[in-house]
Amino acid sequence: MADTSVTSVERRYETAGLRAAIMVMLGWHLFAVLPTAIGGWSYYRPAWIGLAVWVVDAVVGIVIAVVVWRGGGRSILPALVVATIVLAGVVAVAWASPTRTPFDPYSWAYSTSAWFFMVAVWRRRVRELLWFMVANAVVGLAVLVASGSTDRVSLARFVMVTYGVSVLQVTVMVGSRIITAVARRIAEAQEAQARLANRQLAARAVHEARRSRVDEVRQNAAELLAGLADARLDLTHSATQQRMRISVSRLRRLIVETDEVPEPLQHELRACADAAERRGVEVDLQAPVGVIPALPVTVRRSLTEPVIHVLAAARTHARITVVARPADITVAVIADAPPDTAVAGGPEAELTFDSEGGVLWAQTRWTALSPSPS
């Protein structure tokens, strides 16, 4: 869940950066370049070259924008095609301009070619954009040399123009990556804080629930001890002995409830059986049939409570069975116990019990809630 949330934040910022890059590329080409291409009609030789290259670059820009927006652009091949087309346009427009130099006012292709390549490599490495900047500069320098404009002033102008037309695209691409990375780190920090808060809430809830169970066991033990102390309870009476055995078994169950074991339910049943075996009852705790899923403590207590009552009343022997199915879990216990033994269950499971011929049988069944149809 956390990873999904962080990924969605990262994707959202990456998409916003791509949208901004595409809008700048197409907006610049439409509103800044088109007037220059139209205005240079009477200066280009041939006159149509400026508009022709503008149309070709516009088509390239739209196509690569659609491809990258739909998740493409991860291969280098489309970027190489874009680089070839726009660099050819740089040469054509610069050579057709009045001064035949990359910094001519009508040599717009030299300053805009990197916008198209930036979108083409948006999902790839930044260094590929830097390599294109180098290639663009080499092509521009070749045009400058071919035109014979190699004096110091022309070279200085060329360096300044090259720097100016390169820094914007690098800034946009690197800035978008930085913002996306920062957003991801913030999302990860928020997710970590949320997980920590959830763990603290869960730990607090577990602690409160365990304290409540400890208080319950302590209260039962205190009542028994107080009753024995003021002679309200007779230790030789079977009902008093039954209450004491139940309290001891509950205490043993409470002690093992937080043990880290593969099958907590079977582990707690073993603790209940041990309490009975300590007074001479032979308990056969059979291996569970099926795979017992992870169960909340409240469910396990409801499943084991009838077992505690039956084992506390057992005289010589008892048998415990567990059957786990995908939709329910059944715990059954049978023992030689008095027929008038009171058997109590829990709110999370359905209890059934019966006695016949000196044998007491009890079964408790927990049913998993079916997901509501959506």
Cα–Cα distance measured from residue 305 to residue 343, given in angstroms and rounded to the nearest whole number: 8
Final residue before a domain boundary, out of 132, 163, 192: 192
Residues 292 and 362 both lie in one domain:
yes
| pLDDT exceeds cutoff 70 at 284 | yes
Cα–Cα distance measured from residue 254 to residue 126, given in angstroms and rounded to the nearest whole number: 60
Read off the pLDDT of residues 76-134 as tens digits, 9 standing for 90 and up: 999 999 999 999 999 999 999 999 999 899 999 999 999 999 999 999 999 999 999 99
- Whether 359 is in a domain gets the answer yes
Cβ atoms of 3 and 195 within 8 Å: the answer is: no
| pLDDT exceeds cutoff 90 at 6 | no
Residues 186 and 261 both lie in one domain:
no
Final residue before a domain boundary, out of 192, 226, 257: 192
- Whether 229 is in a domain gets the answer no
**CATH at residue 307:** 3.30.565.10
pLDDT value, residue 373: 39
Residues 43 and 123 both lie in one domain:
yes
* pLDDT-based confidence at residue 231 (cuts at 50, 70, 90): low
Residues 55 and 121 both lie in one domain:
yes
Residues 152 and 270 both lie in one domain:
no
| pLDDT exceeds cutoff 80 at 274 | yes
Q: Identify the CA nearest to 308 among candidates 260, 266, 275, 267.
A: 275
Range of the domain at 66: 2-192
Read off the pLDDT of residues 135-181 as tens digits, 9 standing for 90 and up: 999 999 999 999 888 889 999 999 999 998 888 899 999 999 999 99
pLDDT value, residue 241: 73
- Whether 17 is in a domain gets the answer yes
Residues 239 and 184 both lie in one domain:
no
**Residue 32: which residues within 8 A CB-CB, separation 6 or more?**
none
Residues 184 and 238 both lie in one domain:
no
Q: What is the percent of the chain with per-residue pLDDT over 90, rounded to a whole number?
A: 53
Residues 143 and 62 both lie in one domain:
yes
* pLDDT-based confidence at residue 320 (cuts at 50, 70, 90): very high
The helix (run of H) or strand (run of E) holding residue 44 is none
- Whether 199 is in a domain gets the answer no
Treating both helix axes as pointing N-terminal to C-terminal, what angle do 109-120 and 76-96 enclose, rounded to 10 degrees?
A: 170
Residues 49 and 168 both lie in one domain:
yes
- Whether 8 is in a domain gets the answer yes
Residues 187 and 325 both lie in one domain:
no
Cβ atoms of 41 and 2 within 8 Å: the answer is: no
Question: In sequence order, what DSSP letters do the residues of 263-303 get, joined into one string?
Answer: -HHHHHHHHHHHHHHTTT-EEEEPPPBSPPPP--HHHHHHH
Kindly report whether the global pTM for this prediction surpasses the value 0.75. no
- Of residues 223 and 340, more confidence is placed in 340
| Tokens, residue 256 | 């093992």
